[in-house]
């Protein structure tokens, strides 16, 4: 397992639940920070996020977390896990707040679920998508190790990711529409759900992340 995990802190969300979950599964050292030197020196990086995307993008850019994330991914090639709005921020653009430009590290957009939504039986679905839902594993990946296909994870979101390059799709979720629940490319794995809130399956995914060398 990597000696140090940096959880990028740009002021959005309770990052200490991520920190606690990583420690629970055996991370030797977890630092919650936006300090450039600490992030560059870490063995692996977690990029979480909750809240409005416009506010998140503003803080990401103000604190230069966009450049730090790009360095971790493209120059240092260290394993990176993006969570929830962290996943959405990787895309090119979000429909939220009338349209927000994101980081553009992955091709695709972030869309509103829309209304009305219904399940396969015609039952109305509420937005935000909040609670437990099964994730279909669309492609094999080291982070799915010891996690059953269809395992339930915890979601909280009103917008969902749709990657233009469908080869990136690692997991999907059905909530009136089929949404991207996980994307993978090289040393990046991104999830819409919250592994730190997803009990056994989420802890297994975080444990897999600590063991992952950044290759598929």
For tokens 């915890």, name the residue.
154
Q: Which of 84, 96, 151, 157 is catalytic?
A: 84
Active site residue 65: no
- The two tokens of residue 124 are 């109305």
Query: In whole angstroms, what is the distance from residue 182 CA to residue 91 CA?
Result: 13
What is the DSSP code string of 184-213? EETTEEEESS-GGGSHHHHHHHHHHHHH--
Query: In whole angstroms, what is the distance from residue 211 CA to residue 141 CA?
Result: 12
For tokens 């966009």, name the residue.
66
For tokens 């993008």, name the residue.
57
Active site residue 194: yes
Q: Which of 34, 129, 157, 194 is catalytic?
A: 194
Tell me the catalytic residues.
Answer: 84, 194, 196
């Amino acid at each position: 397992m990597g000696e140090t995990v940096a959880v990028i802190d740009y002021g959005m969300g309770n990052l200490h639940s991520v920190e606690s979950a990583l420690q629970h599964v055996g991370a030797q050292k977890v630092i919650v920070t936006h300090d450039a030197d600490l992030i560059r020196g870490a063995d692996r990086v977690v990029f979480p996020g909750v809240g409005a995307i416009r506010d998140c993008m503003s803080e990401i850019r103000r604190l230069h977390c966009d450049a730090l994330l790009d360095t971790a991914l493209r120059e240092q090639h260290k394993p990176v896990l993006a969570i929830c709005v962290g996943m959405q921020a990787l895309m090119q653009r979000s429909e939220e707040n009338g349209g927000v430009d994101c980081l553009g590290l992955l091709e695709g957009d972030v869309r509103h679920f829309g209304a009305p939504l219904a399940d396969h039986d015609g039952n109305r679905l509420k937005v935000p998508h909040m609670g437990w839902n099964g994730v279909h594993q669309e492609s094999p990946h080291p982070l799915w190790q010891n996690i059953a296909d269809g395992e339930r994870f915890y979601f909280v979101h009103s917008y969902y990711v749709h990657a233009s390059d469908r080869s990136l799709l690692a997991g999907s979720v059905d909530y009136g529409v089929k949404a991207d629940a996980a994307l993978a490319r090289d040393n990046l794995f991104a999830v819409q759900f919250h592994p730190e809130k997803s009990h056994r399956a989420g802890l297994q995914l975080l444990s897999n992340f600590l063991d992952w060398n950044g290759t598929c």
